[in-house]
Every structure is written in structure tokens, then in C-alpha cells.
């Protein structure tokens, strides 16, 4: 698969808030940055919460670990394909969506992705907040039994400001932050794991709640539900992010090397922290992140929590950055840095909502299951389009034509029809914790959740039938309309990637 050469900005790919391809001259030949970015994004408390979620929902330790390892092997394999697509084209995931969805039709997935980034930023900030409150309670600064709403809102605001500040600077700051902070964090996680697995009373033979061990169909159904939330579903949720960062990697870098660096950067911390959370949960079945760490590590909780707080911040700087480029794909004429501030405000509103919710496990499961409904459908369409339909030359330059171009349909009804069919297929075989997320297909199967598979196959199948005909109706070789002139010079010195 090769990409045609788009117009190359001399120094930038983002011109006063307008997306452009990353020129080859501004890319890096190193893949270490990709490994640290994805590793840092997943060394976060949410991943030991996800591991604990399997035990919380009634599975034994062995079943939870099988779901974690096998599911993430499959999910990360798909993730790697989208990483390579970003390297090949030099553009973001939501800009790539303009071909299968249409120039204006792509506004729908771009808007969903922007909202998705806000939601993740909020969930991850809440996780940090819970850890900080547990730490302050251990130090005697707050009442560990109190609601502490004012404290929580104040601390959340301070953490959000840090996250927005790093993302505001751009890719250069994100790459530097991950490169310098992930290695010492890994050292802390090694110490945590040694203490947990060799000095705490972990029940390695844990098979489920006493007197209520899941067997037969109930056990399989629970495993498929957790697979959707924390196994294959976890890798799928990163598909829409992949190209936003791999576009900074030179096409000279071997694809195998980039694929392994990116997928291992995801797989290792997700499985590692998932196993840590699951093993800790065998002690009390708890899913609350603060209690998992403070109650199990005792006096060691203070240094551990201070360093592990890095993880969610490392995740959220990606969420905030991806929000900005997804919003720009909506043709919003707003500078990326302004959008970084906007997402901080929106995320704080959602964080305040989470502060007043008590059943976090249900909220988290509902959120994760809901994400799979659209990401698997989007991923199926993108794979069919760029592997089957544009398997030769990818005409990157036409993705940046203004609205009204003859080289892209304004609305590609083939893509949007497949998208709707995929979401419907996902819902039919989804089995979440609340009734609206329990589709009739999953109910008929006794709670077996195959939502990610149904959604991806349905959207891919529909688009494989409708997409080729829609692609033939466009004129990819037609001359591009002349863009509106601008008096502003092309600049993006804050976005050049690090070596």
C-alpha cells in the first residue's frame, strides 16, 4: 500500500488551526517515541480497575487473566493496522474518515470521536481524583469517610490544568513527557508488583465469590462481557487514536518495527496492570482504585500513589490532543490550543458528574461497552475502504480539498449506511450492566456478549457491498478546487516531532 504525495507544507502540518499532512521532512526515524507514548497512556490506574472489574463481576482469577491476555492480543493486533495507516498517509484518523464517509458525512464520526475523548479524559481524571483523596486520607488531611466534594472538585481542577497545559504545547511536549516519565514509573510498578505478588495474601486459586461460583453458560457469558469491556474491546477503543500519533513517523521506518513498538507499548502495560488489579481484587472483590491500593499497600501507598499518578495524566494528554484534531476535522476554524482549553472545561463538567455517582463499576462498564458500539463499526468500514477499495494509491491530497470537491462525495451514504448497520449489530449482541445496553441477541444467547464482533463484521460486510460502487462514482483524479487564500504563513514549530 502506498500513498500519493500530498502538498508538503514547508514547516508545518497545522496552519492556524487547519489540519495538513505531516511532511516527511518533519517526521522522525525513531519508533521509541511511539512505544513510550502508548506505554505511558496505559500505565494508568484505570487498567488495574479494569482487571479488578472482572473479579467484581463474578469471574475467577484464571478466567479474568485469560480474557485479559487473549483479548488484548486480538485487540492490539487490529490497533497496529491503524498505526501503519497513519504512518503511510501522515494524517489523522478522522481526516482519513473523509474518504469512506464523505466530506461532510465524516462530521458524524469526527463529532463522536471528540465526545469520546472528553469522556475518557473525564473518567481518567476521576480515577486520579480518587487516588489523591485516598492519599490525603492516609496523610490525615481529609476525612477518608467524608464526601469531600469541594476537595475533589478543587483537586480535579488542578489536575485538569496540568493535562491541558501539556497538550496545549503539542506533540513535542507529549513525546517528551512520555519519554522521561514512563521509565521511572515502570520501576515503581515493578516494586508494586513484587510487593503484591510475593508479600500480600493473594488468592491465586480464587474462583469467584464464596458460594456463588459461576459455571457453564453463566461463566461463558460473564467472560464475553468482560472481553468486550477489557479484552478485545480495550484494543478496539484505541483504533481512532492510532493515526493521530503514528503520522509523525517517517515512511522510511520499517512497518514491522513500528507495528511491534506500538502494539507492545499497548499490550505490556494493559495486561500487566490488569493482572495486578485482578490479583489485588481477590482479597476483597473491590473495584474502587483508591481502596485497591491504599488498603493493600498500607504505608507504601504514599510513594506509590505519588508516582503512579503520572499514568492517567499521560493518558489524558492524548485524549485532549486527539479531541483538538477531531474537532478540526469538523472544519472548525479554531486554533488547536484554544480547543485544548475547551476540552478541559467540558471534561471538568463530566468529572463533577462522576463525583456525585456512587456505583463507579456500573458507570465504567456502561461507558466502555457503549464505546465499542461505534468504534467497532467505524473500524470495520475503515479496514474495508483502505485495504480493499484503496489498496493501491491512497490519494491523500484529496482528503484536504475544501467542501464541494468533486474528488470526494459530500455525503457517502454507503459509509453512513454501513455505520448505522454496524452500530445496530453491536447493540443487538451487547450485554451491559443496565437494560438499555442489553440487546435481544445477547439476551437470547443467555447474556453472551459478542457486540464487538457483530458490529465490526456487519459494518465491514455492508460497506464491502456498497462501498466500491460509491467509490467509482467519485472523481479522485479531478483537479482540486483552489482553496481560499490566506494571509497567514504556514507555521507549526510547536508540533515538530522529536527524534
Q: Where in the chain are the domains?
A: 30-360
Nearest 10 degrees: Cα torsion 105, 323, 20, 490? 130
Asked whether the beta carbons of 217 and 446 are under 8 A apart, the reply is yes
Per the DSSP assignment, residues forming a β-bridge with 249 are 28
Identify the DSSP state of 146.
S
pLDDT in tens, the chain (499 residues): 444 444 444 343 343 345 788 888 889 898 998 999 999 988 877 787 778 878 877 888 988 899 999 999 999 999 999 999 999 999 999 999 999 999 999 999 999 999 888 888 888 888 777 677 777 777 778 777 777 788 889 888 988 999 999 988 877 888 889 989 999 888 888 888 888 888 888 888 888 776 666 777 778 887 887 787 778 888 888 999 999 999 999 999 999 999 999 999 999 999 999 898 889 888 766 555 556 666 666 666 666 666 667 877 889 999 999 999 999 999 988 888 889 999 999 989 888 888 877 665 566 656 666 676 789 999 999 999 999 998 767 888 899 998 888 889 999 999 999 999 999 999 999 887 778 888 999 999 988 888 889 999 999 999 999 999 888 877 665 555 554 443 333 333 344 333 3
* CA distance linking residue 145 with residue 133, whole number of Å: 10
Helix/strand/coil for 213: coil
Q: How many Å separate Cα 85 from the centre of its chain? A: 16
Beta-carbon contacts of residue 229 (< 8 Å; ≥ 6 apart): 50, 53, 364, 365, 368, 369
For the 30-360 domain, the top CATH level (class) is mainly alpha
Sign of CA pseudo-dihedral 90, 268, 302, 307: negative
Helix/strand/coil for 15: strand
Q: How many Å separate Cα 17 from the centre of its chain? A: 23
Of the candidates 258, 236, 235, 238, the one whose C-alpha atom is nearest the C-alpha of residue 248 is: 258
pTM for this entry: 0.84
* CA distance linking residue 277 with residue 264, whole number of Å: 20
Asked whether the beta carbons of 34 and 79 are under 8 A apart, the reply is no
Cα–Cα separations (whole angstroms), residue 203 to 197, 200, 284, 394: 10, 9, 10, 53
Amino acid at each position: 500500500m502506498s500513498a500519493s504525495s500530498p502538498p508538503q507544507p514547508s514547516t508545518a502540518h497545522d496552519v492556524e488551526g487547519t489540519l495538513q499532512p505531516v511532511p516527511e521532512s518533519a517526521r522522525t526515524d525513531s519508533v521509541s517515541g511511539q512505544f513510550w507514548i502508548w506505554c505511558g497512556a496505559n500505565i494508568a490506574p484505570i487498567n488495574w480497575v479494569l482487571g479488578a472489574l472482572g473479579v467484581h463481576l463474578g469471574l475467577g482469577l484464571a478466567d479474568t487473566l485469560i480474557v485479559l491476555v487473549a483479548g488484548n492480543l486480538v485487540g492490539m493486533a487490529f490497533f497496529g493496522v491503524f498505526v501503519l495507516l497513519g504512518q503511510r498517509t501522515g494524517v489523522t484518523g478522522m481526516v482519513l474518515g473523509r474518504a469512506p464517509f464523505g466530506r461532510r458525512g465524516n462530521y458524524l464520526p469526527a463529532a463522536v470521536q471528540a465526545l469520546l475523548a472528553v469522556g475518557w479524559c473525564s473518567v481518567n481524571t476521576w480515577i486520579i481524583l480518587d487516588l489523591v483523596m485516598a492519599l490525603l486520607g492516609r496523610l490525615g488531611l481529609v476525612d477518608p469517610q467524608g464526601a469531600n466534594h469541594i476537595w475533589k472538585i478543587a483537586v480535579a481542577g488542578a489536575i485538569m490544568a496540568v493535562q491541558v497545559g501539556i497538550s496545549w504545547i503539542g506533540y513535542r511536549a507529549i513525546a517528551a513527557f512520555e519519554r522521561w516519565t514512563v521509565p521511572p514509573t515502570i520501576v515503581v510498578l515493578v516494586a508494586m508488583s513484587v510487593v503484591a505478588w510475593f508479600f500480600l495474601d493473594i488468592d491465586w486459586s480464587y474462583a469467584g465469590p464464596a458460594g456463588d461460583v459461576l459455571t457453564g453458560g453463566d461463566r461463558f457469558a460473564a467472560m464475553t462481557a468482560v472481553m468486550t469491556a477489557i479484552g478485545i474491546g480495550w484494543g478496539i477503543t484505541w483504533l481512532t487514536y492510532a493515526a493521530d500519533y503514528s503520522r509523525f513517523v517517517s515512511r522510511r521506518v520499517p512497518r514491522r518495527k513500528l507495528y511491534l513498538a506500538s502494539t507492545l507499548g499497548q499490550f505490556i502495560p494493559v495486561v500487566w496492570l490488569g493482572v495486578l488489579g485482578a490479583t489485588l481484587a481477590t482479597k476483597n472483590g473491590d473495584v474502587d482504585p483508591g481502596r485497591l491500593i491504599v488498603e493493600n499497600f498500607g504505608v507504601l501507598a504514599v510513594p506509590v500513589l505519588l508516582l503512579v499518578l503520572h499514568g492517567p495524566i499521560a493518558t489524558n494528554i492524548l485524549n485532549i490532543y486527539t479531541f483538538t484534531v477531531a474537532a478540526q476535522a469538523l472544519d472548525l476554524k479554531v486554533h488547536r490550543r484554544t480547543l485544548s482549553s475547551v476540552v478541559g472545561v467540558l471534561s471538568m463538567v463530566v468529572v463533577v458528574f462522576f463525583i456525585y455517582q456512587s456505583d463507579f463499576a456500573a458507570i465504567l462498564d456502561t461507558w466502555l461497552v457503549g464505546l465499542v458500539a461505534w468504534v467497532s463499526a467505524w473500524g470495520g468500514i475503515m479496514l474495508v475502504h483502505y485495504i480493499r477499495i484503496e489498496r493501491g494509491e491512497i490519494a491523500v491530497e484529496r482528503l484536504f480539498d475544501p467542501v464541494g470537491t468533486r474528488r470526494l462525495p459530500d455525503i457517502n451514504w454507503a459509509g453512513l449506511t454501513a455505520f448505522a448497520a454496524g452500530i445496530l449489530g453491536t447493540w443487538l449482541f451487547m450485554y451491559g450492566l443496565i437494560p438499555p445496553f442489553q440487546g435481544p441477541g445477547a439476551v437470547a444467547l443467555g447474556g453472551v456478549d459478542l457486540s464487538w464482533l457483530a458490529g465490526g463484521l456487519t459494518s465491514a460486510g455492508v460497506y464491502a457491498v456498497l462501498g466500491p460502487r460509491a467509490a467509482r462514482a467519485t472523481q479522485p483524479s479531478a483537479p482540486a478546487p483552489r482553496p481560499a487564500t490566506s494571509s497567514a504563513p504556514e507555521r507549526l514549530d510547536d508540533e515538530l516531532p522529536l527524534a
